[in-house]
Amino acid sequence: MNQLENIKAEILPQPLTQSIQPSKAAKRLANTKGMNRQDWLQVRKQGIGSSDAAAACGLNPYMSMLELWMIKTGRMQNDLEKMQNDSYAPLYWGNQLEPLIAEHYQDKTGNKVRRVNAVLQHSDEDLHFMLANLDYAVIASNEVQILECKSVGQ
């Protein structure tokens, strides 16, 4: 085997030797219904969510791994914490439009959605740092199970 084949053998995924176990449901770390912004930000500090994942991997051009660590350990405030109120227009409009986007999705696809009022945590004890703060769950669909509502623009 030449050097390139050795490298490929190390990098490429190997066939599964054991059966895949069905995933367990995520734990509900915190109920967010009625939760104020400061409490929500504190809950987010307990782990890595989807908004943090790129920074944790060194792939976020706007935040380094060190900055993420400093935020998560309380040594530095992030941009969301600096915006003490909802006057920041993109956040304000994103929150206001979320239910309308979800309703539009339901109308266009026929899939029913339900708001997820929780910060979810991975059920595996070794992966408890993995968090999810989902907008909506898609009900009774085998193809789509999560709906994240985003509004874009400047």
- pLDDT value, residue 90: 77
Average pLDDT over residues 4-13: 52
The fold of the 27-147 domain, in CATH, is: Lambda Exonuclease; Chain A (3.90.320)
- pLDDT value, residue 89: 76
Q: pLDDT tens digits, residue range 17-56?
A: 555 456 678 999 999 999 998 898 899 989 999 889 999 9
Structure confidence at residue 82 as a pLDDT band (50, 70, 90):
low
Average pLDDT, rounded, for the chain: 83
- Can you give the length of the chain in residues? 154
- pLDDT value, residue 136: 95
Structure confidence at residue 64 as a pLDDT band (50, 70, 90):
very high
In eight-state DSSP terms, residue 119 is E
In the predicted structure, residue 14 carries a pLDDT above the cut 60: no
Long-range contacts of 115-118 (CB under 8 A, 24+ apart): 117/31, 117/32, 117/33, 118/28, 118/29, 118/30, 118/31, 118/32
Domains in the chain: boundaries? 27-147
Alpha-carbon span 89 to 82, nearest angstrom: 14
Predicted model pTM: 0.73
Listed in sequence order, the residues at least 6 apart from 102 whose beta carbon sits closer than 8 Å to its beta carbon are 113, 115, 135, 136, 147, 149
Q: pLDDT tens digits, residue range 120-146?
A: 999 999 999 999 999 999 998 888 899
Closest CA to 135 of 108, 101, 106, 110: 101
